[in-house]
Amino acid sequence: MKNKIIYKNEPMVLKVIDGFLPSPEDLILREKKKKVTLTLTEKSLNFFKKEAHKHGASYQAMIRRLLDYYVVNQKA
């Protein structure tokens, strides 16, 4: 940076903006889930497990999101 920032001891004017960010409860997406038994090929399962491990996620959640994505796009 070419220009140096010069800080002064000026009073700061702060104000609270209500409703600016959603509450943590509003950020949690809880959809009703139902357990099913699903048989996958070893190749597919290994792919999801490897990718989930790489991204620090759950392979089951990745498969669930993929299916949800498919459903949404089929409705369009």
Q: Quick one: which of 71, 62, 68 has its CA closest to 44?
A: 62
Scanning 1-76, the segments in alpha helix (DSSP H) are 24-27, 42-55, 59-75
**Given a cut of 70, is residue 59 above it in pLDDT?**
yes
Please give the backbone phi and psi of residue 32, each rounded to the nearest 5 degrees, phi first: -65, 130
Predicted TM-score of the model (pTM): 0.60
**Given a cut of 80, is residue 75 above it in pLDDT?**
no
Q: What's the pLDDT at 4?
A: 87
Under the banding of pLDDT at 50, 70 and 90, the label for residue 1 is low
* Per-residue CA distances from 69 to 36, 63, 65, 72, 74 (Å): 18, 10, 6, 5, 9
Reported as a single tens digit per residue, the pLDDT across 13-43 is 888 888 777 777 777 777 888 999 999 999 9
Q: Quick one: which of 31, 24, 26, 66 has its CA closest to 45?
A: 66
Q: What's the pLDDT at 28?
A: 73
Q: Which fold has domain 30-75?
A: Arc Repressor Mutant (1.10.1220)
